[in-house]
Amino acid sequence: MANEAVTTKAAGGRATADEPKKAPKAAEPMIDLLDETQQRAAAAYVAYIEAERQLERAYKDQEAQAEKAYGDALEQTRRENQDSLSQARKAYEHAAVQAKKALDEGLAKAQLAFDETAAQLRKGHDDTVAAARKEHDEAVALALKSREEAEKQARQIHGEAMAHTWTVFTKARR
């Protein structure tokens, strides 16, 4: 407020300085010199105040520019961060899909290998059981044949022994 009063006073002083001067009287040269010095001081003060205002405006402009640059940098960083997150999410999803695909393929291959191995084992088992049954049947047939032959021989020997016994018994009784 004091600056405004001085500014107004200085502006009023300038208006009088711009008006045509009257011829100074003998007592006036000292007053004119004082008025001129005051006017120059007031003008210098007004220029100083204006320079301060310009400096303040420049400072505020610079501060606003710095704030804008900071905000822009934050926004740019946020966008880049979002882009990085998006790329990371896509990479993760792609890797997860690839891993799932590999797992499914691996499980399918393992299932196929298991089925083939199980089929081979079943075939091997069936072949082994069939071979064992054949060997069993052959062994049983051979055993039955041997038994029949042994029984036939035993019957023959028994028959011969009985015939011999009866021959000896009948001779002894006579």
Domain count, the chain: 1
pLDDT of residue 100: 95
State which residues form the domain around 7. Answer: 2-173
Distance from C-alpha of 150 to C-alpha of 129, rounded to nearest angstrom: 30
Instruction: Tell whether the model's pLDDT for residue 33 goes beyond 80.
Output: no
**Residue 93 CA: distances (Å) to CA of 86, 87, 89:** 10, 10, 6
Query: 41-60 pLDDT, tens per residue?
Result: 999 999 999 999 999 999 99
Instruction: Tell whether the model's pLDDT for residue 15 goes beyond 70.
Output: no
Instruction: Give the confidence band of 172 by pLDDT, cuts at 50, 70, 90.
Output: confident
| DSSP per-residue string spanning 83-132 | HHHHHHHHHHHHHHHHHHHHHHHHHHHHHHHHHHHHHHHHHHHHHHHHHH
pLDDT of residue 173: 76
Q: Is the pTM of this model over 0.85?
A: no
Query: 94-130 pLDDT, tens per residue?
Result: 999 999 999 999 999 999 999 999 999 999 999 999 9
- Average pLDDT score, the chain: 83
Instruction: Give the confidence band of 74 by pLDDT, cuts at 50, 70, 90.
Output: very high
Task: Write out the two tokens for 169.
Answer: 């018994």
What is the phi/psi pair of residue 20, to 5°?
A: -60, 135
pLDDT of residue 11: 44
Query: DSSP class of residue 24?
Result: P
